[in-house]
Amino acid sequence: MEKLPVMNTEEFEKRLSDGKYVVEFKADWCPDCSFIKPHLPAIEADFPEYQFLQVDREENLDLFRELNVFGIPSFIVYENGREVDRLVNKARKTKEEVENFIQNAIK
């Protein structure tokens, strides 16, 4: 999973303008982000047609606000620059919940 650097909304949208992505919004201090972290390689392997990216809240607070991401960990699916679906809340997420979300988003 590639961690994105600090970027503004325009840079973020340009980065995602071509291709299929699942973006995890997270923070290192977040216990629920740590809970899902060990499962991310398996989730990523189950959806090889998508590139998985991470955005750190502490490095990209303005981007989080502009995208209305107010809970972490959160996941947003993008295809060719367009948001397809989002799982944005502050609740702890299981591997199964994240995989079900992605599966439903890409149908």
Query: In sequence order, what E strands does 1-107 have?
Result: 2-3, 20-26, 51-56, 74-79, 82-87
CATH architecture entry for 2-105: 3-Layer(aba) Sandwich (3.40)
How far is it, in rounded angstroms, from Cα 43 to Cα 52? 9
Any idea which residues carry the catalytic annotation? 30, 33
* pLDDT tens for each residue of the chain, 107 residues long: 878 877 888 898 999 999 999 999 999 999 999 999 999 999 999 999 999 999 999 999 999 999 999 889 999 999 999 999 999 888 889 999 999 999 999 87
Domain ranges (residues) in the chain: 2-105
Per-residue confidence (pLDDT) for residue 90, from 0 to 100 = 80
> Which amino acid, residue 1?
M
